[in-house]
């Protein structure tokens, strides 16, 4: 049956607070990231992702302090991202206690950053996040928190990311983000078919069936969600029981 599928709550952090929006805008507060992370760890989440969504030089110390606090409270792997531009950023976050580091905009602007991280710390540390929007028949990659389109296409960029040594890809469909109508199944299936590394599905979770569709139809290795977990719409133990009943290999 292969490896167990993973359930990953995502915590977008702005000024020390967890926030969640729709289509990358209209943010609302969802609680303290350390307390939420601890609760998810206790509830049976497989991993966590923390993203500093307004990362800047001034706020990095605050975010690094939060990573240290998270590491002291959770007993599952967690990934951090936001404002990771060079190896010193990776080193700082790993030293603070993170297991993996996510890169996005910086990698699109300077793809060799992926090679550098993989060569220095190992592929397992490097998660490449890709934010893409489906527009006029193709998936276009965006930078700066989904604000600026690039000329890169999803499959082409994802293939390069894998070739450069990233350990996995976190693919967020901007069209589906926060809408709760399901994940981008066809794009996930294509990524699975064409890439040799794990794919994390992100954007669109609204009910438990959406998760099973991501695993069964989209062939995703993990599924990430935010608001359905933050606001109590889906409880992780119930989700895992549902997925197991659907025949999906999952850690209970």
Tokens of 231: 């606001």
Q: How far apart are CA 125 and CA 100, in angstroms?
A: 4
Query: Which residue among 12, 46, 52, 221 is the active-site one?
Result: 12
Element (H, E) at 244: helix 236-245
Tell me which DSSP letter residue 94 carries. H
Q: How far apart are CA 214 and CA 189, in angstroms?
A: 9
Q: How far apart are CA 252 and CA 6, in angstroms?
A: 11
Query: Which residue among 52, 131, 177, 221 is the active-site one?
Result: 131
Q: How far apart are CA 217 and CA 186, in angstroms?
A: 8
131 is catalytic: yes
Three-state secondary-structure class, residue 21 = strand
Closest Cα partner for 47 from 217, 134, 170?
170
Return the active site residues.
Answer: 12, 131
């Amino acid at each position: 049956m292969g490896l167990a599928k993973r359930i990953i709550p995502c915590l977008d952090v702005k000024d020390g607070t967890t926030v969640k929006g729709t289509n990358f805008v209209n943010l609302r507060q969802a609680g303290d990231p350390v307390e939420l992370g601890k609760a998810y760890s206790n509830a049976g989440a497989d991993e966590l992702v923390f993203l500093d969504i307004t990362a800047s030089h001034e706020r990095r110390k605050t975010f690094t302090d939060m990573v240290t606090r998270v590491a002291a409270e959770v007993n599952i792997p967690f990934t951090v991202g936001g404002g990771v531009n060079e190896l010193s950023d990776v080193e700082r976050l790993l030293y603070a206690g993170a297991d993996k580091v996510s890169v996005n905009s910086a990698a699109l602007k300077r793809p060799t950053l992926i090679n550098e991280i993989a060569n220095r710390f190992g592929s397992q540390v490097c998660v490449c996040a890709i934010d893409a929007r489906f527009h006029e028949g193709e998936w276009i990659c965006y930078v700066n928190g989904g604000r600026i389109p690039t000329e890169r296409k999803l499959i082409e960029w994802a293939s390069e990311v894998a070739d450069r040594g990233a350990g996995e890809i976190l693919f967020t469909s901007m069209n589906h983000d926060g809408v709760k109508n399901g994940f981008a199944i066809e794009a996930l299936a294509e990524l699975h078919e064409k890439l040799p590394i794990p794919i994390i599905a992100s954007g669109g979770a609204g009910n438990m069936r959406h998760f099973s569709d991501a695993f069964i139809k989209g062939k995703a290795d993990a599924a990430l969600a935010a608001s359905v977990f933050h606001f109590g719409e889906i409880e992780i133990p119930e989700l895992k029981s549902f997925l197991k009943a659907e025949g999906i290999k999952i850690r209970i």
